[in-house]
Amino acid sequence: MADESKIDDPATRQEAAAEVIKEAKEAPPTAQVDDEDEDEAEDTVATGSPASGAAAKKKKSKRKRIKNALTGGSSGSSEASGSSQSDISKLMNGLSKDQLTELVKMNPGLAQQLGVGTGGDLTMTKEATAAMKKMSLEEIMSGLASSGKNVKDMGQYKFWATQPVPKFGESSEKIVEGPFKIIEPEQVPKDPGPLVDGFEWVTMDLLQDGELEEVFQLLSGHYVEDDEAMFRFNYSKSFLKWALLSPGWTKDWHVGVRASASRKLVAFISAIPVALRVRKKVLKASEVNFLCIHKKLRAKRLAPVLIKEITRRCYRLGTWQAIYTGGVVLPKPVSTCRYFHRSIDWQKLYEVGFSPLPPNSKPQYQVRKYALPDHTATKNLRAMEEKDIDGVLELLKSYLARFEMAPIFTRDEVEHWLLYKKDSTDEQVIWSYVVEDPATNKITDFFSFYCLESSVINNSAHKLVRAAYLFYYATTACPSLTPSSTRTDLSKRLNELVNDALILAKKYKFDVFNALTLLDNNLFLEQQKFGAGDGQLHYYLYNYNANPIAGGVNARNQIDESGSGIGVVML
Ligand code: MYA
């Protein structure tokens, strides 16, 4: 799944940093800036009266902003990492040198973690940078220092500690990759586990419009929101059909929970099959997505029950591994990517609170900065057609072979995932374009993006943000496909293609264009004016122990020039 992310706002982080310093001055020297206990204490206060509740909420959100300033991101990652080394690198990234100096003076514990003295000027930046460079890929990718004292204890992951997934704190030595456990088919229970009284398992039939509508309604009211609850993903019904009825799909993997009396759908989880290559091995795996529980049923340990049920159903069909993504830190990511956002309609993004106005700028400067031409520039670029399926498949297969983890697409999957059929009654979800060489009729390049809208919560002027997400692309202009091609050639070509993708996204009325630090995206993100987001996406494998894979960000959570090993784009 995607994670709700918006443009990271350095000004807000600077402002929050100032608050951190103010609070640090007022607090005893050993006080930690914020932690879950404090949040919980505030929750209790918030139940007092509506007025005190609002005040407490405001305070909580202020604290959260401070926490975000320190951790540089989602509460999910900070929840698990406390003030780990990786948080510190984000902190350094977010604060000015003066602020950092002052903060370190106020917090000797932090100084110790940074490996610097508490007095005077922060001439430690170089040393701290060097220390960060020494961090293992594992530490960087998981966004956690696995041996750091602030890592959430594995014992606190009551459910995940029992599952065949890697654990935090385990040795970061290179391991021989493979399944955690081999399950005999006869060991797999034939029936679902029990649910609490009043609820029952259902298998959703998404070919029935009524049932599709129910899943849509559940997700549109209760699915992923950003940390400040400003936006919530709004996967359309066409999108859900595209995402969940892909080649090889089975109804059995569309699992719901209904309230027995009202028949209301209150929870959902899904899986689709995927042939996933992790380095040299190809796994017959499932992609688990759209885990969602009605807001009123949260924190009742229903999620582990749903996860166990989808696992049982995958096992029953001989699928022993899975891939899933999320914005929350769980044991233990195989990779971590960062979101980047390219404004298309800057004015609207500003009005809904997605994009900040940078200090010393004016709205009209921002609008001008993100202006795009009306027409694409790449020669022989056109919308993908049915006749292109084989050419795209061949190109994509060779291109994805360069990444450490990538799907192995079939012809049917290329058709399903990439080709928009004009005669379809569904609204368009996927936009794909190819470049055909007129001399050879070969497909030399292609790119695609999909549409995922987000509801804007509590905004009277705008109800939706229409976002394009960069999906798969490939080009022959890369060294492994064309030996005479250099990395500079690849970068140049990708910049041309992505610039055209932006122009097309503007033509189709998208407000923003999102991409992660995966594939070769790092070669164009900055040049194409993508701004760093406040969201991360962690990649996880179930029942498969793999060495970490670079996610395109370094220890400072900034673009890593050496690129990413991730070649899987999840919805
Ligand atoms: S990611 C999208 C997740 N959905 C949302 O964020 C929508 C909004 N939120 C909700 O609906 C709920 O908050 C959810 C949790 C359902 C997320 N992935 O029931 P609880 C653990 C995995 O009391 P709730 C996506 O769809 C948490 O650490 N585990 O909590 C991919 C704790 O365990 P532990 C998660 O808040 C899904 C336990 O759940 C997640 O009411 C991949 C608490 O349960 C999460 N995103 O509900 C699923 N969030 O005690 C795994 C919390 O150990 C698939 N938790 O810390 C694994 C592969 C299975 C197939 C294998 C086949 C071989």
340 with 319, same domain? Answer: no
326 Cα: distance to centroid of ligand 1 (angstroms): 9
Would you say residue 115 has pLDDT above 60?
Answer: no
Higher-confidence residue of 346 and 122: namely: 346
**Residue 543 maps to a domain:** yes
**Residue 170 maps to a domain:** no
Would you say residue 118 has pLDDT above 50?
Answer: no
CATH number at residue 179: 3.40.630.30
Residue 155: pLDDT band (50, 70, 90) is confident
309 with 238, same domain? Answer: yes
* pLDDT tens-digit map of 263-283: 999 999 999 999 999 999 999
Lowest mean pLDDT among 42-46, 227-231, 407-411: 42-46
Please, what is the average pLDDT of the chain? 82
Minimum-distance ligand 1 atom for the alpha carbon of 285:
63
Would you say residue 337 has pLDDT above 50?
Answer: yes
344 with 312, same domain? Answer: no
423 with 352, same domain? Answer: yes
269 Cα: distance to centroid of ligand 1 (angstroms): 10
* Residue written as token pair 């060097």: 130
User: So what's the pLDDT on residue 229?
Assistant: 92
Token pair belonging to 166: 């890697």
281 with 392, same domain? Answer: no
**Residue 13 maps to a domain:** yes
What percent of the chain shows pLDDT beyond 90? Answer: 70
Would you say residue 106 has pLDDT above 80?
Answer: no
Residue 152: pLDDT band (50, 70, 90) is low
Minimum-distance ligand 1 atom for the alpha carbon of 542:
58
Would you say residue 50 has pLDDT above 80?
Answer: no
* pLDDT tens-digit map of 215-244: 999 999 999 999 899 999 999 999 999 999
289 Cα: distance to centroid of ligand 1 (angstroms): 10
Which of 291, 320, 321, 457 gets mutated to test ligand 1 (max ligand atoms within 8 A of its CB)? 291
Q: How far apart are CA 87 and CA 144, in angstroms?
A: 8
**Residue 570 maps to a domain:** no
Q: Residues with Cβ within 6 A of ligand 1?
A: 1, 157-160, 222-224, 286, 288-293, 298-304, 307, 310-311, 314, 319-322, 324, 326, 328, 330, 542-543
Nearest CA to ligand 1 atom 31: 289
User: What residues are labeled active site?
Assistant: 571
Minimum-distance ligand 1 atom for the alpha carbon of 297:
41
Please name the residues in contact with 215: beta carbons below 8 A apart, sequence gap of 6 or more. 204, 206, 240, 254, 256, 265, 268, 290
**Residue range 502-525: mean pLDDT, rounded:** 98
Q: How far apart are CA 445 and CA 442, in angstroms?
A: 9
**Residue range 174-186: mean pLDDT, rounded:** 97
299 with 346, same domain? Answer: no
310 with 374, same domain? Answer: no
Would you say residue 178 has pLDDT above 60?
Answer: yes
Would you say residue 145 has pLDDT above 70?
Answer: no
Would you say residue 521 has pLDDT above 90?
Answer: yes
Q: Across 35-104, where does the E strand assignment appear?
A: none
**Residue 199 maps to a domain:** yes
* pLDDT tens-digit map of 354-370: 999 999 999 999 999 99
Provide the domain limits for residue 420. Answer: 335-564
Three-state DSSP class for residue 52: helix
**Residue range 179-183: mean pLDDT, rounded:** 98
**Residue 330 maps to a domain:** no
509-513-519 Cα angle (round to 5): 140
Minimum-distance ligand 1 atom for the alpha carbon of 325:
31
Count of domains for the chain: 3
Residue 170's identity, in one-letter code, is E
544: Cα within 13 Å, side-chain hemisphere:
26
